[in-house]
Amino acid sequence: MNIDLYGFGPALAAGALMTVKLALCALCLGLVLGLLGALAKTSPYKPLQWLGGAYSTLVRGVPELLWVLLMYYGTVTLMSALGEAFGNPELALTPFAAGVIALGLCFGAYATEVFRGAILAIPKGHREAGVALGMSKVRIFTRLIMPQMWRIALPGLGNLFMILMKDTALVSVISLEEIMRQAQNAVLFSKLPFTFYLVAAFMYLGLTVLAMTGMHFLEKRAARGFVRTT
Amino acid sequence: MEWEVIFKWLPKFYQGALLTLELVGIAVVLGLILAVPLGIARASKLWYVRSLPYAYIFFFRGTPLLVQLFLVYYGLAQFDAIRDSFMWPYLRNPFWCATATMTLHTTAYIAEILRGAIQAIPPGEIEAARALGMSRAKAMFYIILPRAARIGLPAYSNEVILMLKASSLASTVTLLELTGMTRTIIARNYLTVDMFFTAGVFYLVISFLLVQAFKQVERWMRVDACQGR
């Protein structure tokens, strides 16, 4: 079967690149937010626990699309006020920045729960051993908890990344030129909606398969100390 | 916060929330019904029974709902055969397109939940049913499905909440559900943050109520009594 893309192939490829960029940037932001959220939720301080809980509950209870719209249209006044203070009144979030913040925020909220579960899954004795050895709190976290946490958190994070990858399609609503938007442009020109949306669907499927393969290798690597070879 | 303006528009938000609930309700109930045969087939040991549901689930879980929605709402109009068929009055209507797509989408997820639940049943219980002389169909109806329902219920309630949030995508095909209504209201009064805030509160309240309702259902089905041993 030969699919005629009416010369929109390169545009769609550029869109795929944009989708990947968006997903990776949002992933970075989300991982940081998720770690902070999980640390807050597992900390012994009540206000911090409350803050972490509020973050994950509030963000998870509101649709991703609403966050994307809010980040893009809702920050206009705020950003221009901020720009005014620094002598640049045209300051505004680009669709890309708004998308990264919105998707990162959502990813972080779910990742908070994944990381929290992973932290709680590490035997208490490991932390106590660190304390007994005279390690500082920060060092216990970076040297003992973190390296073990990744292995447990990885499958959950992989699922979240797959969800994130699909949520990037939402950013087309605020006119970022990713796969979905490029497909829409192509449809406007060619009047072949089914063809182009199907192509877009298969591009997302391809990305999902790629991400799944990547996760498989990461999980294998993370579990390399836990496999019995006999 | 412009509370007065928010109060003034509350009836409109309420109207949008009703449509959201309608969309989600139809999708998750129909999805559950469709998912039962699909999930059972997906859990089959025979590869030729398993492969078609697998492909279906793979496609619907691997692509964004937005793409699926556009594929159905904008895409189907590409074919003259569909435009001339008796289905066209329905497929032209954004409401039916959105419910159909959301149903197909959530069916894939629920079927996968069901497969996980069926495979999580201790094999001994199924063997016991067979040893008692139950036929395969009988074991399926009286042992496997009731057991899987209880194992899968928490995941199903998650899926319902996810669908509640996914229903906001219906606003992209001109439906005035909660998000669509909010955008229309914003186009009237330009209070972007206040209106999105109100919509967010509506979503939070709905998901809170749904979570409470599912807790009741779990108590009623005595899910916790089936855990442990």
Q: Give the confidence band of A167 by pLDDT, cuts at 50, 70, 90.
A: very high
Output DSSP code: residue A171. G
At B229 the pLDDT is: 44
**Is B12 a residue whose pLDDT tops 60?**
yes
SS (H, E, C) A61-80: HCCHHHHHHHHHHCCHHHHH
Q: Count the alpha carbons within 13 Å of A176 in the hemisphere toward its beta carbon.
A: 28
Overall average pLDDT of the B109-116 stretch = 93
What secondary structure does DSSP assign to A211-222, as a single string? HHHHHHHHHHHH
Q: Give the confidence band of B111 by pLDDT, cuts at 50, 70, 90.
A: very high
Test the A interface: residue of B67, B182, B202 with most A CBs within 10 Å: B67
Rounded CA separation A20/A18 (Å): 5
The total number of residues written for chain B in this structure: 229
At A65 the pLDDT is: 93
Rounded CA separation B207/B205 (Å): 6
Amino acid at A89: P
pLDDT mean across residues, chain B: 91
**Is A1 a residue whose pLDDT tops 50?**
no
Helices and strands in chain B, H and E counts:
12, 0
Q: Please check whether residue A193 touches B, CB under 8 A.
A: yes
All structural domains of chain A: 22-177 (1.10.3720.10)
pLDDT digits (tens, 9 = 90+) for B84-106: 888 888 888 999 999 999 999 99
**Is A18 a residue whose pLDDT tops 70?**
yes
CA distances from B28 to B19, B23, B110 (A): 14, 9, 9
Overall average pLDDT of the A101-122 stretch = 94
The answer to whether the Cβ–Cβ distance between B172 and A173 falls below 8 Å is: yes
Q: What are phi and psi of A63, to 5 degrees?
A: -60, 145
The answer to whether the Cβ–Cβ distance between A65 and B62 falls below 8 Å is: no
Q: Shortest Cα distance from B64 to chain A (angstroms)?
A: 5
CA distances from B221 to B39, B151, B176 (A): 21, 11, 36
At A230 the pLDDT is: 64
At B34 the pLDDT is: 95
Q: Copy the structure tokens of residue A125.
A: 């004795």
Overall average pLDDT of the B146-175 stretch = 92
At B85 the pLDDT is: 84
Rounded CA separation A206/A214 (Å): 12
At B227 the pLDDT is: 61
Contact by Cβ (8 Å): B164, B207: yes
The answer to whether the Cβ–Cβ distance between B71 and A208 falls below 8 Å is: no
Rounded CA separation B23/B164 (Å): 9
Q: Give the confidence band of A3 by pLDDT, cuts at 50, 70, 90.
A: low
**What sign does the CA torsion over B206, B208, B211, B215 have?**
negative
Contact residues for B117 (Cβ-Cβ < 8 A; gap 6+): B147, B148, B149, B151, B152, B155
The answer to whether the Cβ–Cβ distance between B66 and A172 falls below 8 Å is: yes
- What angle do helix axes A9-42 and A146-167 make, rounded to 10 degrees? 140
Overall average pLDDT of the B121-144 stretch = 92
pLDDT digits (tens, 9 = 90+) for B79-89: 888 888 888 88
As for the ipTM of the complex, it is 0.86
At A7 the pLDDT is: 79
Contact by Cβ (8 Å): B118, B148: yes
How many other C-beta atoms can be found within 10 angstroms of the C-beta atom of residue A80?
15
Q: Copy the structure tokens of residue A168.
A: 């990037």
CA Rg value for chain B: 21
At B89 the pLDDT is: 85
Q: Please check whether residue B186 touches A, CB under 8 A.
A: yes
CATH classification (class only), B3-226 = mainly alpha
pLDDT mean across residues, chain A: 90
Q: Please check whether residue A76 touches B, CB under 8 A.
A: yes
Q: Copy the structure tokens of residue A158.
A: 């992989």
Give percent above pLDDT 90 in chain A: 64
**Is B131 a residue whose pLDDT tops 90?**
yes
Segments making up each domain of chain B, as ranges: 3-226
Give the nearest partner residue to B204 out of A58, A167, A168, using CB atoms.
Answer: A58
